[in-house]
Amino acid sequence: MTHLCDLPATEQAGLIRSGELSARELLQASLDRIEATNPDVNAIVTLDAEAAEKAAAAADDAFAAGRLLGPLHGLTLAVKDLHATGGMRTTSGSPAFADHVPDTDELIVERMRAAGAVVVGKTNVPEFGAGSHTFNPVFGLTRNPYALDRSAGGSSGGAAAALATGMVSLADGSDMGGSLRNPASFCNVVGHRPAPGRVPTWPAGDPWYTLGVQGPMGRTVADTALLLAVQAGPDPRAPLSLPEPGRTFLTGLPLRLDGKRIAVSPDLGGAVAVDPEVAAVVDAQAETLRALGADVVRTSLDFTGAEEVFRTLRGLNYLMGLGPLVERAPDQVKQTIHGNVAVGRALTGDDLARAGRLRAALLGRVQAFFAEYDALVLPACQALPFDADLEYPAAVGGVPVEDYLDWMMAACLVSATECPATAVPVGFSDDGLPVGVQVVAAPRDDLGALEVAHALEQATGAGQRRPGLIP
């Protein structure tokens, strides 16, 4: 019998709506699970049980009065420690902000609370979200629940590990170069990178920046779509926000893919090195998709220039956001961030102009590709979960890794396209380590990515396998 904490959030929500489960009962189950498993994985780094108990009581009082607070009524949720939570410590994993307590919630948190979520605390991140391995000098290392000596990925590694172990119903995250997708693949859960503007960000250092987005994570695709329905929708303060309401994603997801034309590529057309076990699992999805009724072609979008676009725009963003801190308190910032800021400082007008031209050409190829295909299935992460004591793997598929972006380039290249992508579990390595794919859809077609991911999820059943450390 499945434990309450391991049920999909959609089933937990159904039990609450039917009156079979109270928000208080679900919260207590979550707190018990946190106590039992968090010492092993270190996923939740700030816990506020008292505030959560007040929120759960308010949800139960509203239900007793015949009122639901919203789609997330009574569900437990932990917020990524990069996102501001009013009255709750928000550190970004940095010694410079170790005691920082914001006055107000940022928009994504405000929306999740308003929808009835019971916020229990914050999930661990790399320092300022830099890197896809979750460790920092404030809270330490987050471990993979499927193998405690391995990385949980990042930067939403705490969120992914908390979901995998059933500590919370749902979790939010953010993604510049794979921070929703890589940890989802490492921890056997689902992470959706929305199209830029789908989940408006406010306040924002650069409101026109499109590489970095915020989005949802869940144990299932349906759970992830449920959270996206709350996070999404326009906001006048976010100039890139898309007009469609969040309820667009409160829809049934298909089990079949008849009539869909889907491309599958284990190595992005040779653009990246991939671990052979990962490539084999990705390649096997071609037959799964055919069995679901799709017309499958082994091919890839041409990612020429995408890496340069990504590195250039990312460097500029780090200079804008963290350059002042690096100047003011250099000893409080890790060296990789110094390096990122240095990349931004070294950029010239010619560099930015070239990146703009490459980006325009890339987006033209994206439009042509998705005029022919409904989705592109790629590895969510090129590597298997690696030794947690390393900052990043030394090689992937026998190819040396030059820097801490190389091994996650499969996600970074997709970020440069501005396409939405859903990371979903589809299998395991010979050693029992999770492997996920990312389903990439046309620009702004978030629902299309979720639909293909859901059909794959249901066909493979890989996401139903929970970590052995769960009591």
Nearest residue to 194 (alpha-carbon basis) of 170, 167, 176: 176
HSE-up of residue 262 (Cα within 13 Å, Cβ side): 33
CA distance 468 to 429: 16
Of 30, 80, 122, 241, the active-site residue reads 80
State residue 151 phi and psi, 5-degree precision. Answer: -70, 145
Mark whether 80 is an active-site residue: yes
139-422-397 Cα angle (round to 5): 75
* Catalytic residue (one of 132, 151, 155, 156): 155
> Does the annotation mark 179 as catalytic?
yes
* Nearest alpha carbon to residue 126 among 336, 317, 323: 336
* Range 72-107 burial, b when 16+ CB lie within 10 A, else e: bbbbbbbbbbbbbbeebbbbbbbbbbeeeebeebbb
- Tokens for 87, please give them: 């009255």
Rounded-to-integer distance, Cα 153 and Cα 180, Å:
9
Choosing from 22, 169, 179, 300, the catalytic residue is 179
Q: Annotated catalytic sites, by residue? A: 80, 155, 179
